[in-house]
Structure 1
Amino acid sequence: MSTILVLGAFDTKGAEHAFLRECLLEAGVEVLSVNLGVMGTTDRFPVDIEADEIARHGGESVYALREAGDRGEAVRLMGEGAASVVRELFDEGRFDAIVGMGGSGGTSMIAAAMRSLPVGVPKLCVSTVAAGDIAPYVGTKDIVMMPSVVDVAGVNRVSRVLIRQAAAAIVGMAGQSDARQPESENPVVAATMFGNTTECVDACRRYLEESDFEVLVFHATGVGGRAMEELIDEGWVDAVLDVTTTEWADEIAGGIMSAGPTRLEAAGRRGLPQLIVPGCLDMVNFGPIETVPEHLRRGDRHFYEWAPAVTLMRTTAEENRRLGTIFAEKANGAQGPIAFLVPTCGFSVLGEEGDLFHDPEADGAFSEGLRETLDPSIRVETIDVPINDAAFSKRAVAMLLELIEQGRASG
């Protein structure tokens, strides 16, 4: 029998969570209840873990939070405490799925707890903010955000229907999930892809699958890179084929798809075999052209409208040299087998000869910056084809397999 963890601010949302709990029990599951309400609790149902324990895990007492009267600080600390407690409960095997309901403050605390859990653990949040920008709540995790339509304020003809649906959904998800056990024993390769490197990565994926590897492909949009790094740290991945490292171009040039300054660190930290490619380092991502910073639009930068909501900007030689230096610094700290493969005839579809972003001098600056800083023992191989050429894909997979064998031999 599955156990569903129900969490929320029971001081203000007691009736709503009581109805949710009733729906879950009717569905034949067990319920573990966690109260996040700083101002009190509920007598509508038994509460398994009260807010004072959550507050202690956040570094404060619930009484101090009440006296301080700082709602924002209370939400932050209770979110941290909830994340700690919920993760401990999961590691102890106490529940199989998690569900909660709330407004903006409640959603912040609930989502913080859900983000502490591994991918694959069913997570559902019924929220008043679910129809807006949910990126700050979801982060890189598989949280299902369900719009509450009406406020989470009473059980009425609308909320009653949606709460029943939420209960049915999380019960169904729990019945189909086992985040603790892999479905396959095949080794896992993480790969990064963008529209401009799709042909390359699709070919690499086919070659690897033919060799009995399972391939997880991440879209290099910022959140994709962060998700990959997190899954590497969580132990889901055995090797990394980092074809599309474009998120670093956004990081240094102010684009909207940065994965942050720790990108390229997880695989090296865990000692995994990794092949790094400067895929799409010839571009920086922005939204519609009018959203590009004015100082860039007034300069001599090259732009391309990839889609109505996507504007690409060509990187400069100076930026690529800096990227090469950064990549070398990341690689120098790696604890496992690592190598670079650089296509000299274009880092993307747009970088091929005759296309808008074709600039051999700017591309070459990446290799110059890389070699100037890179540990001489780390291999850098160049190949005189565009990144999406079949020969590049074959060589990339061959090099990754060599690194994997090297890792096995040394392990």
Structure 2
Amino acid sequence: MSIVIIGTLDTKSEEIGFARDVIEAQDGEVHIIDAGVLGEPEFAPDTTADEVAEAGGTSIESLREDGARGDAVDVMGRGAAEIAQQLHKEGVLSGVLGLGGSGNTSIATTAMRALPVGIPKLVVSTMASGDVEPYVGVKDITMMYSVADIEGLNRLSRRIIANAALAMVGMVETDVDMEIDKKPTIAITMFGVTTPCVRRAREYLEDHGYETIVFHATGTGGQAMEELVREGVIDGVLDVTTTEWADQHVGGILNAGPDRLSAPGEVGIPHVVSTGALDMVNFGPPESVPDEFSDRTFYQHNPQVTLMRTTPEETAAIGTIIAEKLNEATGPTAVYLPLNGISILDIEGGEFNDPAADEALFEAIRETRNDDIELVEMETDINDDAFAVALAKAVDELVRESDST
């Protein structure tokens, strides 16, 4: 098993070689992938830039002749991802280390995002102190700020690169038995306004032999959950909080993209869905709310988060979308509707209480769902203890039925 280092040997041979030497001094094995396009490496890598470019769909000569940096980074990122996945399938790759500026950060993290969660991934980057979402995505990538540019070895760069290399050695060589008392795993989606429901459902499930993973429905949370479903980490999904579809449809900042609600159905695992927090769309501070919404109902969650109440027209459209998504499911699927409120703010007397908007949501789901999608309606709000337990029992029963077939 090797630590794979991804870097541009035409510009960073000295620094990559130093990282290799630190790892090998700890009796670690290293596999170097050269992602450089500009020139020849100062030492021979294990995977050449030619091989990376070919895996990315072109040749290194074409990239050099074209001279378009953006295209080259894109191709080398795709190629590095293909090679990293292949090394993982062959049992060669135990972790990935990258180091460089924005170009190699993009290339290395593209490869890292193609690998399963749990494989150690670390990049030393000049970009690590800013917005790292484009690099990290929904994967467990550790970013270490290089402080100074990664250009030559000095007392600062040696220490930082050595720390990163030693961290990788520690991650890949520390043997933690993750299979001890392994339990079936249920993913649960949560927002602040559905927390009481999720806590009670989680307690029930854990008391009945499950491990639970709670995902904050902030866009990346929903994406991460769906990615783990596709990777086979999750045995069932309790989708209490589908609020990301409100942001996706209306234009809020916490959307999870058009594939949200797709993965459980594609994989065929049990999926119990509710309508948590579909009464709200998320924006930043009040001044960030688009002018077109100036006449709407708002709630200031905190100085950085402004919530906007969805209208009956919006909830009807969202309900239709959700039902259509679930109709495509290949596994057991159920929808639970809390008729007396879909969030803490939506109960009687709450700031977002709007029975007409809720009913438009519920009716769209009723009318659009296929008959094989189980529908349960309860005269409670979503955070009622009885509703939470009903959700937990439903996903428990579906998982047990699936296991018995």
The TM-score with structure 2 as length reference comes to 0.97
Match of 2:124 in 1: 126
What is the one-letter code of the residue matched to 1:196? V
Match of 2:271 in 1: 274
Give the CA deviation at 1:43.
2.8
Change (3 A) 1:394 1:94: same
* 1: CA distance, partners of 2:287 / 2:184: 45
Q: Deviations over 1:316-340 (max 9, x none)?
A: 1111111111111111111111111
Any conservation in 2 of the 1:121–1:178 contact (CA below 8 Å)?
no
Q: Which moved more, 1:249-258 or 1:379-388?
A: 379-388
What is the one-letter code of the residue matched to 2:192? G
Give the CA deviation at 1:374.
1.0
Does residue 1:396 correspond to 2:395, yes or no?
A: no
Any conservation in 2 of the 1:14–1:41 contact (CA below 8 Å)?
no
Counting aligned pairs with the same residue, the percent is: 49
Superposition pairs of residues 246-285 of structure 1, within 5 angstroms: 246-285=243-282
Q: Deviations over 1:360-390 (max 9, x none)?
A: 1111111111111111232211111111111
* 2: CA distance, partners of 1:231 / 1:313: 30
* 2: CA distance, partners of 1:178 / 1:32: 23
Which secondary structure does the structure 2 equivalent of 1:32 belong to? strand
* 1: CA distance, partners of 2:130 / 2:268: 39
Give the CA deviation at 1:203.
1.0
Which secondary structure does the structure 2 equivalent of 1:96 belong to? strand
Match of 2:158 in 1: 160
Any conservation in 2 of the 1:121–1:177 contact (CA below 8 Å)?
no
Which of 75, 91, 98 matches 2:96?
98
Change (3 A) 1:249 1:37: same
Does residue 1:56 correspond to 2:54, yes or no?
A: yes
Does residue 1:73 correspond to 2:68, yes or no?
A: no
* 1: CA distance, partners of 2:331 / 2:179: 24
Which secondary structure does the structure 2 equivalent of 1:60 belong to? coil
Any conservation in 2 of the 1:321–1:369 contact (CA below 8 Å)?
yes
Which secondary structure does the structure 2 equivalent of 1:13 belong to? helix
What is the one-letter code of the residue matched to 1:391? A
* 1: CA distance, partners of 2:353 / 2:166: 53
Give the CA deviation at 1:177.
6.0
Give the CA deviation at 1:41.
3.6
Any conservation in 2 of the 1:114–1:123 contact (CA below 8 Å)?
yes
Q: Deviations over 1:238-270 (max 9, x none)?
A: 111000000000000100110001110110111
* 1: CA distance, partners of 2:271 / 2:175: 30
Match of 2:331 in 1: 336
Change (3 A) 1:73 1:29: same
Match of 1:384 in 2: 379
Superposition pairs of residues 161-180 of structure 1, within 5 angstroms: 161-176=159-174
Any conservation in 1 of the 2:10–2:42 contact (CA below 8 Å)?
no
| Structure 1 unmatched runs, 5+ | none
Match of 1:203 in 2: 200
Any conservation in 2 of the 1:120–1:177 contact (CA below 8 Å)?
no
Give the CA deviation at 1:184.
4.3
Aligned length: 405
Which secondary structure does the structure 2 equivalent of 1:186 belong to? coil
Give the CA deviation at 1:100.
1.0
Q: Deviations over 1:279-308 (max 9, x none)?
A: 0000111111111111112x2x11111111
Change (3 A) 1:72 1:173: same
Match of 1:348 in 2: 343
Superposition pairs of residues 4-43 of structure 1, within 5 angstroms: 4-43=3-42
* 2: CA distance, partners of 1:7 / 1:381: 51
* 1: CA distance, partners of 2:279 / 2:395: 23
Q: Which moved more, 1:327-336 or 1:249-258?
A: 327-336
Does residue 1:366 correspond to 2:361, yes or no?
A: yes
Match of 2:302 in 1: 307
Q: Deviations over 1:88-127 (max 9, x none)?
A: 0011111211101010111110110111110000000000
Which secondary structure does the structure 2 equivalent of 1:11 belong to? helix
Give the CA deviation at 1:174.
1.1
Which secondary structure does the structure 2 equivalent of 1:256 belong to? coil
Change (3 A) 1:177 1:54: farther
Which of 275, 292, 299 matches 2:289?
292
RMSD, matched Cα: 1.4
Any conservation in 2 of the 1:36–1:51 contact (CA below 8 Å)?
yes
The TM-score with structure 1 as length reference comes to 0.96
Which secondary structure does the structure 2 equivalent of 1:304 belong to? strand
| Structure 2 unmatched runs, 5+ | none
Which secondary structure does the structure 1 equivalent of 2:240 belong to? strand
